Amino acid sequence: MNLSKKQKIDLFNTMLTIRRFEERLFDEFYAGSITGFVHSYIGEEAIATGVIAHLKKEDRIVSHHRGHGHCIAKGADMKRMMAEIYGRKTGYCKGKGGSMHIADFSIGMLGADGIVGAGLPIATGASIAAQLEGKGNVAAVFFGDGACQEGEFHEALNLASLWKLPLLFVCENNGWGVNTSIGESFGAKEITRVPDAFHIAHKTVDGNDVERVYQAAEKAVARLRKGSGPFFLECKTYRWHKHFLSDALPDLRPKNELEAWKKKCPVKAYETKLLKQGILTPKKIAAMNAKIMDAVEEANQYALASPFPKPQDALQDIYSK
């Protein structure tokens, strides 16, 4: 389907929000205000944006270590996200999870998982739940090319295929797992050969083109809602920063590869397109940007103003009542 003007602006707005949020984390991390493992989603924003645009609150997603974009696209509160990343009591997980483990069960964001591949079995469970509820809801799981090397990936595909689960597999293929290329680590070479072997319908798209992702996800989600079984969407993309923000971690990827992908910036490309179509003007973009910057600043201030948890708070929430 053709996108309306409003849909296009929404997509652009979500991508820009993720970008600005991540840029702020980058600054704060290297200024020393944030610690731990922070994985930047910059360069991959079109995927979370284009896919999650089709999901309702009742649809559940499972994310991975590079998960801020999925949270924002699903409608998470940036203030509570930021507070979690800063380890504050007001964060989504009361400071017990940090950047890698943000979850908001109230909006169907079942959490980001830091063990590569581990979100996949969990997501099969979320889609079994959707199937049992029988309301046409779906689940989506986001994972990297690296996760496709884990047994959990293959087990989840088998189960989804066998039980016709309403599960959308979204592979964010950025070609690398830390500093190991997919060529060095994946025997099937093309990832979609694996879902294909399990008779799972699949499509590969340019993951930096938000409209391509959006359109592919639209068809996929419609299929899922009808109960036609799982779908596998491979989105080719590239991460701009090191595996996680760090002074010490080397980046061993070829420089020219990064430069080439930076020219295919998903946010910039879409901005240019919408300007050309006359849907956005430089003035409108400036206004959108200012509003997003304010929201990110507000989130940052909220986090900074929030108290740290008390040491003894570590003893809470081991079990639920």
Partner 1 sequence: MREITYDQAALEAIQEEFRRDPRTVHMATDLPPELRQEFGSDRIRVTPIAENNFVGASIGLAGSGFRTVANIRMATFGFVALDQMMNHAAKITYMFGGQAKFPILYRMTVGGGFQGAAEHSISPYSMYMNVPGLKILLPTTPYDVKGLLKTALRDNNPVVSFEHFLLGGTIGEVPEKEYFIPFGKADIKRKGTDVTVVALAKMVHEALAVAEELAGKGISLEVIDPRTLIPFDKQTVIRSVKKTGRLVVVDEACQTCGAAAEIIAFTTSDKSAFGKLKSAPVRVCGMDIPIPFSPPMEKFALPDKKKIIRAVMNVLGD
Find the binding residues for ligand TPP in span 235-294 (CB under 6 A): 243
Residue of 129, 178, 285, 295 that binds ligand TPP (CB under 6 A):
178
Nearer to ligand TPP, 149 or 300 (CB): 149
Q: How many residues interact with ligand TPP (rule CB under 6 A)?
A: 14
Q: How far is the CB of 284 from ligand TPP (least distance, A)?
A: 32
Output phi, psi for 242, to 5 deg. -60, 170
Measured from the CB atom, the residue of 48 and 280 that comes closer to Mg ion is 48
* Closer to ligand TPP by Cβ: residue 229 or 266: 266
Contacts to ligand TPP from residues 69-128, by CB under 6 A? 114-116
Residue 207 touches which member of ligand TPP, Mg ion, partner 1, none, C-beta under 5-8 Å by kind: none
- Most distant CA atoms of the chain, gap in Å: 56
Smallest separation, CB 66 to ligand TPP (Å) = 4
Q: CA 3, 262, 191: angle at the middle one, nearest 5?
A: 70
CB of 247 to partner 1, least distance (A): 26
d(CA 182, CA 168): 22
Q: Which residues between 168 and 187 bind Mg ion (CB under 5 A)? A: 174, 176-177
43, 119, 144, 266: which one binds Mg ion (CB under 5 A): 144
Q: Which does 136 bind (CB under 5 to 8 A by kind): ligand TPP, partner 1, Mg ion, none?
A: none
Binder among 97, 111, 146, 195 for ligand TPP (CB under 6 A): 146
CB of 259 to partner 1, least distance (A): 37
Residue 212: name the closest of 5, 49, 321, 65 by CA: 49
Q: What is the spatial distance between Cα 70 and Cα 190, in angstroms, rounded to a whole number?
A: 25
